[in-house]
């Protein structure tokens, strides 16, 4: 490890967690996976929760493995996770209960309750955040009048809980805070107006904001002794994984659209200021905070979730095709056989995704995909068409002509879907890096360490470290995709 600094990135996803080591030689970054683990929710009193003790136990095991290899060269560690989920601490700094997972059913009916107190227009004007049933604002509404909220002293998002366990320092990192739909991106503060109107106690939002690229504190002495580090700083990453992923996009020509493709797909552009108006509200676009004062102007789209849940259904039916086999079956299936809106509520949390898609298509008189190949192609084409629709709207909202698209995240490895996306959108696609979230996490650690001064310098390092795959629209299929998009927009999208 001579002459190389090592930065550790903890990336927690809704299904798994991992620790990546980034080796920096002064010019390029090389990523190595140190450890990976499953992160399954647990059932408690009829609700689904995140097991914080188990998650932190996995993190400690991973850090111990990192220490065994990199203790002398490790500079810092930083954490990123999904958004919206949170925990509450009491007066003695005990976690009152395990955080609920965002897909838990307790948010049913909560939007209507909140809208009876404050209008959608006012919420959007204050926050610029798209309305999704699991946003923190609706999760907290479900807690009002219950014991947990009355005992609460401190509100922390999921990555902030991990940082607190690592350092003993309580902060709320800004990129994740912005996903709550309780943060005002223009005032750069919690919206006291919304908190008061809804009845959420202001006092629980007492932890100071942390900025990505700054040091939160040193790893606790007890943890250093337990894990094997002599010294390790804990840095504030862009703690929302999408913010990290967007920070980790290599330098491109501007304007450049991006697509962070994973369980969720996040389609958008990086702006210098929030874009909040009647039209962006109508189209339900979000203004989440990015690094260095930027805004992630984007829309959430259901992505690999459809495949993940379909594979579970196939496995229960005794079918376990490999990814290569699934791709081959999809490629052989009839094009444009059937489509659906990936974001329909029917696909939010079904017991059987395959049956949910079949029933959804049947109820609307559409062709029903009956086998693995046809269903897989139906999912791929439906996702690609939803991407094309969203980017069409995005161009109109921003006034930009979008010709280049950066696709990052795990979904960028799906060659068939990425080519379909190029064909459906008409844009040239630069796919990769797959590990953009880890790159973005690490870039802000480089900034905290003084190795770079700003994100622009960091993206140049990513550019030097990875080689993208380039996809161009296929002219021979352009008419077919134009016709399919017109039909999708007129007859498939749920209004």
Q: pLDDT tens digit string along 77-122?
A: 999 999 999 999 999 999 999 999 998 999 999 999 999 999 999 9
Owning domain of residue 108: 5-241
Quickly state the pLDDT bin for 1 (edges 50, 70, 90).
Answer: very low
In a domain, 447, yes or no: no
Final residue before a domain boundary, out of 241, 276, 302: 241
What is the pLDDT, as a whole number, of residue 5? 97
pLDDT tens digits for range 199-247 = 999 999 999 999 999 999 999 999 999 999 999 999 999 999 999 999 9
Are 237 and 267 within one domain?
Answer: no
* pTM of the shown model: 0.91
Residues 280 and 206 in one domain: no
* 371: annotated active-site residue: no
Q: Mean pLDDT across the chain, nearest whole number?
A: 96
Give yes or no: residues 162 and 213 share one domain.
Answer: yes
Tell me, yes or no, whether 159 and 263 share the same domain: no
349, pLDDT greater than 90 = no
| 29 close to 442: Cβ distance less than 8 angstroms | yes
Q: What is the pLDDT of residue 15?
A: 81
At residue 478, does pLDDT exceed 80? yes
Sign of CA dihedral 143, 146, 152, 158: negative
Pairing of strands 86-89, 286-289: unpaired
For 257-274, what is the mean pLDDT?
94
Cα-based distances in Å from 461 to 290, 293, 408, 457:
19, 20, 16, 7
State which of 208-212, 249-253, 260-264 shows the largest mean pLDDT. 208-212
Q: What is the pLDDT of residue 125?
A: 98
Same domain, 232 and 296: no
User: In the listed set 216, 241, 266, which residue is the last one of a domain according to the structure?
Assistant: 241
Q: Tell me the per-residue pLDDT of 292-327, one tens digit each, with 9 for 90 and over.
A: 999 999 999 999 999 999 999 999 999 999 999 999
Q: What is the CATH number of the domain that holds 338?
A: 3.30.420.40
183 in the same domain as 285: no
Both 231 and 257 in one domain: the answer is no
- The label of the residue with tokens 């136990």 reads 57
Residue 279 in tokens? 């039209």
Q: Which of 85, 104, 241, 327 is catalytic?
A: 241
123 and 198 in a single domain? The answer is yes
Residue 261 pLDDT > 50: yes
């Amino acid at each position: 490890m001579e002459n190389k600094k090592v930065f550790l990135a903890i990336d927690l996803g809704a299904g798994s967690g991992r620790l990546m080591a980034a080796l920096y030689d002064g010019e390029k970054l090389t990523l190595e996976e140190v450890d990976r683990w499953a992160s399954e929710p647990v059932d408690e009193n009829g609700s689904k929760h995140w097991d914080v003790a188990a998650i932190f136990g996995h993190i400690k095991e991973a850090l111990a493995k990192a220490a065994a290899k990199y203790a002398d060269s490790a500079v810092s560690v930083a954490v990123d996770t999904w958004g919206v989920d949170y925990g509450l601490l009491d007066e003695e700094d005990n976690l009152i209960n395990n955080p609920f997972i965002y897909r838990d059913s307790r948010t049913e009916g909560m939007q209507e309750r909140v809208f009876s107190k404050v209008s959608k227009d006012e919420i959007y004007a204050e926050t610029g955040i798209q309305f999704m049933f699991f946003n923190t604002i609706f999760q907290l509404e479900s807690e009002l009048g219950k014991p947990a909220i009355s005992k609460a002293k401190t509100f922390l998002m999921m990555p902030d809980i991990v940082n607190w366990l690592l350092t003993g320092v309580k902060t709320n990192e800004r990129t994740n805070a912005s996903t709550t739909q309780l943060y005002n991106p223009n005032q750069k503060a919690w919206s006291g107006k919304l908190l008061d109107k809804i009845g959420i106690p202001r006092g629980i939002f007492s932890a100071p904001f942390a900025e990505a690229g700054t040091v939160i504190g040193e790893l606790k002495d007890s943890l250093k002794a337990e894990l094997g580090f002599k010294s390790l700083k804990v840095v504030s990453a862009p703690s929302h994984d999408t913010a990290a992923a967007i920070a980790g996009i290599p330098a491109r020509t501007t304007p450049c659209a991006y697509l962070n493709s994973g369980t969720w797909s996040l389609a958008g552009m990086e702006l210098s200021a929030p874009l909040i108006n009647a039209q962006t509200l109508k189209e339900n676009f979000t203004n989440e905070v990015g690094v260095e004062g930027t805004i992630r102007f984007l829309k959430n789209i259901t992505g690999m979730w459809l495949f993940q849940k379909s594979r579970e259904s196939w496995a229960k039916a005794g079918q376990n095709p490999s990814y290569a086999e699934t791709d081959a079956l999809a490629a052989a299936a009839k094009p444009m056989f059937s489509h659906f809106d990936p974001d329909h509520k029917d696909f939010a949390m079904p017991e059987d995704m395959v049956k949910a898609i079949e029933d959804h298509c049947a109820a609307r008189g559409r062709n029903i995909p009956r086998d693995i190949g046809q269903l897989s192609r139906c999912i791929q084409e439906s996702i690609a068409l939803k991407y094309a629709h969203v980017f069409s709207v995005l161009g109109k909202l921003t006034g930009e002509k979008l010709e280049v698209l950066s696709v990052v995240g795990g979904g960028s490895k799906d060659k068939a879907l990425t080519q379909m996306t190029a064909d459906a959108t008409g844009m040239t696609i630069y796919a990769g890096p797959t590990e953009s979230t880890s790159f973005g996490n690490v870039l802000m650690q480089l900034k905290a360490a003084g190795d770079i001064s700003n994100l622009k310098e960091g993206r140049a390092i990513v550019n030097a470290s990875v080689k993208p795959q380039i996809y161009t629209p296929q002219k021979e299929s352009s008419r077919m995709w134009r016709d399919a998009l017109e039909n999708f927009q007129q007859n498939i999208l749920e209004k």
